[in-house]
Structure 1
Amino acid sequence: MTETVVPEPTPEQAALFSRVRRMMLIAGLTTALAVAAVLVAIGYRLYRAEGSSPASNTTATLPKGARIVSTAVAGDRLVLTLDIGGAVEIRTFDAKTLKPTGRLTFAPEP
């Protein structure tokens, strides 16, 4: 059997091979870093996610004569606009627990 003899690369070819190897190493490390970042982000979102909250029956009391003008959801807040005897009031509640988080009352200037 005869073996094929591969000629030695010239210095320019050797330099080119080393540059290609270095660029491939950089590309491989960058790809590995990107995949690791995606996996970390997915893991963070999975472990940070809160389970679905149990359904709750809550009764909120309104002042006498008040009526709900509008409702809205803003992020994780439930927003109610109330008309209380001619004065407008906005009440916010946490959407998951339905606990009051704020109240904004509008009054005319004296």
Structure 2
Amino acid sequence: MSQIDFPEQTPEQAAVFQKVRRMMLIAGLTTAVAIAAVLVAIGYRLFTSEGSSGMKDVTATLPKGARIYATAVAGDQLVLMLDVGGATEIRTFDAKTLKPSGKLKFTTEP
């Protein structure tokens, strides 16, 4: 086999190659920093999320004679529809903490 002899680089070519090496080094470092930032953000979200850390026991007090006739989940809210002595009432609870977040009563006009 014959070897191919490459001519020596001119100073201009050497300068261009040096610039390309420097740009590739900058691009590689930028990519590494970006990937590290994404991994740090994911790790932070995983280790600081409230999440469900176990079973919670919550007792919600309803009016006397109230009857739950429908439940639903809407986003981060647990929705209960109650029948309280013939009147309809909707109560909402935060799905993560199970704390009451709202109450809506319906009555009929006299």
TM-score of the superposed pair, with normalisation by structure 2:
0.70
Query: Could you say if the C-alpha distance between residues 8 and 68 of structure 1 is closer, same or farther in structure 2, counting changes exceeding 3 Å?
Result: same
Deviations 1:37-80 (A, max 9, x none): 11211221133123633424433332233222321223433211
Distance 1:51 1:97 in 2: 10
2:29 aligned with 1:29: yes
**SS at 2:83 equivalent:** strand
% same residue: 75
The alpha carbon displacement at 1:7 in A equals 5.8
CA distance in 2, matches of 1:25, 1:73: 51
Secondary structure of the corresponding residue to residue 68 of structure 1: strand
SS at match of 1:60: coil
- Compute the TM-score of the two structures, normalised by the length of structure 1: 0.70
Counterpart position of 1:64: 64
Whether 2:40 is the aligned partner of 1:46: answer no
Residue in structure 2 matched with residue 91 of structure 1 by the alignment: 91
Give SS of 1:92's match: strand
**CA RMSD in angstroms, aligned pairs only:** 2.7
Q: Which residue of 1 aligns with 2:3?
A: none
Task: Count the aligned residue pairs.
Answer: 105
Contact 1:53/1:96 (<8 A) preserved: no
**1:11 aligned onto 2:11:** yes
Partner letter of residue 69 of structure 1?
A: Y
Q: Where in structure 2 are there 5+ consecutive unaligned residues?
A: 1-5
Partner of 1:3: none
